[in-house]
Each structure stands twice: as structure tokens, then as C-alpha cells.
Amino acid sequence: MAPPKGGYAPTLEKFLDTLKSKPVEASVESLISLLKRRQIQGAESCALATAHILLQVVARDKWLNVDQLLERVQSVGRRLVAASPRELTIGNIIRRILGLIRDEAEEDRNEETGNATPADSPDPPVASPLTIDSAVAKVIRPAFPTAQSTLTRTQSMFNILADPDSVPPGWMNSTPLASSGASTPLGHNFPTNTSALRSEVLDGIEEIMDEIKQVDDQLCSYSDIIIHPGDYILVYKPSRTVQRFLTRSKRKFTLFVVTDPSAQSGPDPYASLRKSLAANGSILISIMNAGLMAYMTKVNKVILSARALTGTGGVTADAGAASVARAARSQGRTVIVLGGVYKLSPDSQVTQSIATEWGNPSAYVDFSDGQLVGKTTVKNAVSEFIPAGDINAYITNLGAHSREHLHTVISDHYKEADVALDLYAKIRK
């Protein structure tokens, strides 16, 4: 028997490669295990993994009507959320897909209603080419925005936030799965064409996955609106999204990167960012978090990356970002948060305890010192919650938003019935 190959570490890519060769339930259990062990983590990876597994549920499970499909998706969704409750994008994608199913089912029922005419009734009058029967018209899902949006980029962010009615049509529109109204109960009054419904739902899930993959490119298209020549910008532990946002800008600016003293050993983690900025004439300066306030008076704006956004404006971010946001607020500096719409959670149950994740404290405490470790409890936060009051603006792949407008984005992307769905019930039991 050949010895097992060493160095195998499951990743999102390896998980996706196994989906077609495994039964659906085995794939669900595999993803739950990977989420619990944090072998799949991060907002984008968790969102894509959730979308892929629900794609398999819709495509390969046997269901006879819409209610069975909704119940199955909700059941799988609760198990995924329980496996990693701090990854809010899992619940977001589940709700988006539930809303998609409801929309497609309503369209199917409307078509059945419009086509069901009594045999003895006279032929319906021929409608004019300009007449649209709202009862039977199929709702067309709009294409999600691309980086080459028709947005006139000469508008200032101040105008965008101050007067939302001045935004050009289409910029603040919903993404592919925006609902056209409130959710309605589904029943069995009309037969369901499961084959057509399955096809439409699968197409919608594919659109969600395409949207997630294009978020960074769409976010970066707004960099020259946010960044002005000569700006002094401060970032904290810049994520890949923030780094791409900064390097996409053609402006020349000075960047302060707040670093953690525990991460100073080893190679420069921002060497590639420093090189990219230097090629454009910009400057990167690393500062210790202990000296943050000494630089804040010179800063024009602070740009942070969100792990998740809440409908009330709060943000889950890397631990330490909250103190940066508080420092900026105390000096009257603008705090801008970057995050795709798929990170915007409608869940009102998000609390500090859910948002805060604790990690390994060995980077701060030497566990070889047995006397200290034996008498002291050391906690190391990996993520934390930033209150909405410390944030000035939110940049998503749909553009800039103020805190007051986030509820509009939520209503465009989630059904009311799914917002009220309690995905955390399994955790509290």
C-alpha cells in the first residue's frame, strides 16, 4: 500500500474540485468540517463556498415544489452558519439565494395565472405592442454593474452622499437578484415547473458567484474619486482589496501603513505594495500602532477593509481597526470602509460577541515563560466590531453610501421574509 501523501491542506479550490464526485450531503458535511477548522475562511472564500454548495443542492437534490426547496436550503444554511457564525457572508449568500428562489417561483406562478384561460371564454383582445400586462410580465433581472459603469466619475463623493437623488440611474440599482417587492407566501395553488425553476435558480446563483469575483475590480474603479492628489491616507493591515484600491489610483499621495509590532520580524509584508506605489510616484511610510496619534493630525482620510457590514452601519474588521477609527474620529478625519455588497448583512442579531473572534496569543506572550502563562489569561482578538458612529462613508461595488442609505441596499437585495429568518437558532440551542 502506497504511503499517504504529506502536506495536504484542504483549500477552497480543492473543496470545489471534489463537489461533482461526492454526494450532496457528503459535500455539505465536508464544507461544515472545513469551516469549523477554519481551513476555509475569509469573506470571499466563505461566500463562494456557500454559493457552490447551494448550487449543488438545487441542481442535484430531489424536490417536487418550491416549499421543499426553500426548506432544504434553509436547513443546509443553518448548519453552515452554525459551523462558522462569525463569517456573516455565509448567511448573506443563503438569504440571497432564498430570495432568488422566491422571485423565480413568483414569476412561474404569474405565468401560470396568465396562461390559464377557461376553454369557453372568448379569445382575449390583442394587445397593442406598447401595452404591457403587469400581471403576466416576466420580471427581467438587471445585469449587475461592471467596472465600465456609465457613472460620471467627475462627481465628488460629497455630492453622492449629500444628494442620493442626483445619482445617475443604474448606479445604486440592485444587483442581479434584487427583488421587485415584498415577499409573498408560497403555496401549492399553482403547479410548479420544477425543471424551468431549477434552471432559472442555477443561472441566478452563477450570477451571484460572478458578482463576488468581480467585486474588487468594481471597487477599484472608484479609487480616483476617493483619492485626491497630495492626500495623506492611513490604512491598517491593508487587505488585498485595499491594496488593489490604492494601486489602481493614478494620483500621487502619501500612504501611512499602521503595523503591529509583533509582525515586524521577517520580510516586509508590504514590499509589493511599496514597489507599486513608488512606480506611480507615491510614498509608503510604515508606522507603529503605538505612534498612531502622532500622525493622525496630518492624515486626510482613513481607509479600512470590512470583513462584514451590518445594516445599521457597524463593521466587522481586523482587530485593531476599531482603535484606528476612534483615533480618526477624535481628530475629525474621514473614515471610509471598503466592502462588496455581498458583505452587507441584514441580520439584526450581529453583536460584539459574534463579531469578535479570539485567536492564538503566542505572538504576544512567550509560552516558554511558564510562571507568567500559568498565572495569566491572555486573549488575542483576531476581529472586532467598529460602531457605525466611527465611520463616515461606505464604498461598495455599487458606489458610495452613507449609513442612512444602507437599508435601501438591503431592501434591494434581500426579501423581507428572509431577513426575518433566524439562521442562528441552531447555535443558541
Rounded Cα gap, residues 32 and 12, in angstroms: 12
Is residue 396 domain-resident?
yes
pLDDT (0 to 100) of residue 370: 67
402 and 266 share one domain: yes
For residue 362, the one-letter residue type is S
What CATH number should be reported for the domain holding residue 29?
A: 1.20.120.420
Q: Please check whether residue 81 is in contact with residue 424, taking contact to mean a CB–CB distance below 8 angstroms.
A: yes
Shared domain check, 99 and 24 = yes
Q: Of the residues 147, 182, 209, which one is the last residue of a structural domain?
A: 209
- Residue 80 located in a structural domain: yes
Claim to verify: residue 70 and residue 201 sit in the same structural domain? yes
Domain with 64 in it: 12-112+192-209
* Intra-chain end-to-end CA distance of the chain, in Å: 45
Distance (Å) of CA 364 to CA 265, 292, 369, 376: 13, 19, 12, 13
Q: Indicate if 387 and 264 belong to the same structural domain.
A: yes
Q: What is the pLDDT of residues 215-264, one digit of tens each?
A: 999 999 999 999 999 999 999 999 999 999 999 999 999 999 998 766 55
Give the per-residue pLDDT at 146: 45
pLDDT of residue 72: 95
Number of structural domains, the chain? 2
Task: Check whether residue 368 and residue 225 sit in a common domain.
Answer: yes
Mean pLDDT of successive 10-residue stretches along the chain, which has 429 residues: 52 89 94 93 94 96 92 94 92 95 79 47 41 37 44 43 43 39 42 82 96 94 94 94 94 91 70 93 89 89 94 90 93 96 83 72 71 76 89 94 92 89 64
CA neighbor of 222 nearest in space, from 389, 393, 47, 411:
393
C-alpha cell at 144: 449587475
Identify residue 301 by its one-letter amino acid code.
K
Q: What is the pLDDT of residue 425?
A: 62
What's residue 379's pLDDT? Answer: 81
Report which of 331, 259, 335, 329 is spatially closest to residue 298, judged by C-alpha positions: 331
Q: Is residue 229 part of a domain?
A: yes
pLDDT in the model for residue 359: 77
Sequential DSSP letters for 138-205: PPPPPPPP-TT----TTS-HHHHHH-GGGSPTTSS---TT--SS------SSS---HHHHHHHHHHHH
Using an 8 Å Cβ cutoff, are 138 and 112 in contact?
no
The answer to whether residues 220 and 204 belong to one domain is: no
pLDDT for 422: 77
CATH number of residue 291's parent domain: 3.40.50.10470
What's the pLDDT at 353?
A: 65
Q: Which of 196, 204, 174, 194 is nearest to 100 (CA)?
A: 204
Q: Are residues 198 and 284 in the same domain?
A: no
Asked, for residue 173, whether it belongs to a domain, the answer is no
How many angstroms separate the CA atoms of 330 and 339, rounded? 24
Give the pLDDT confidence score for residue 150 in this predicted structure. 38
* Structure confidence at residue 194 (pLDDT): 84
Burial class of 382 by CB neighbour count within 10 A (0 to 12, 13 to 18, 19+): middle
Instruction: Using the 3D structure, point to which of 209, 234, 263 is the last residue of a domain.
Output: 209
Whether 133 maps to a domain, the answer reads no
| 291 and 253 within one domain | yes
Q: Is residue 298 part of a domain?
A: yes
CA separation (Å) from 191 to 105, 126, 201?
10, 27, 17
Q: Could you tell me if 396 and 252 lie in one domain?
A: yes
Q: In this structure, are residues 239 and 262 in contact, taking their beta carbons and an 8 Å threshold?
A: no
19 and 66 assigned to the same domain: yes
* 33 found inside a domain: yes
In a domain, 151, yes or no: no
The reported pTM is 0.77
Nearest to 360, CA basis, from 373, 379, 384, 375:
379
The full length of the chain comes to 429
How far is residue 262's CA from residue 142's CA, in Å, rounded to a whole number? 47
| Residue 203 and residue 297 share a domain | no
> Residue 286 is inside which H or E element, if any?
strand 283-288
Same domain, 205 and 261: no
